[in-house]
Amino acid sequence: MEEVGVEIDHIKYLLDLAFLRPDGVPVVTLSFWCHWKSGEVCLNDESIDYKWVGLEEAKNYELIPGIWGELEMVDKILPGQNPDEIAYNPI
């Protein structure tokens, strides 16, 4: 709600990643997925644009490295596949 004005629910942990950026700075990323509950997207000063897309359409966008693997995981979870049985493929 704070960053883009939408309310979410059913927040679920997806995975965590630890890596070193090219400049040597360590990074820990915690990824979650959720369901949209209500509200319209309202961009704040830190956001440039948004678009709701499906998995196949997401291929048309330049994504942050590793995000594609996360999108594939959620695409398998939504119809009911057990998250514990889904492997993360960063490529």
Is residue 9 within 8 A of residue 36, CB to CB? The reply is no
Q: What is the pLDDT of residues 11-62, one digit of tens each?
A: 999 999 898 989 999 999 999 999 999 999 999 888 889 999 999 999 999 9
What residues contact 25, with CB distance under 8 A and at least 6 apart? none
Is residue 69 within 8 A of residue 86, CB to CB? The reply is no
Residue with tokens 């959620």: 74
Confirm whether pTM is higher than 0.85. Answer: no
Tokens (6 digits) for 22:
């090219």
The domain locations on the chain are 7-85
What is the C-alpha to C-alpha distance for residues 4 and 67, in angstroms, rounded to an integer? 19
3-state secondary structure of 84: helix
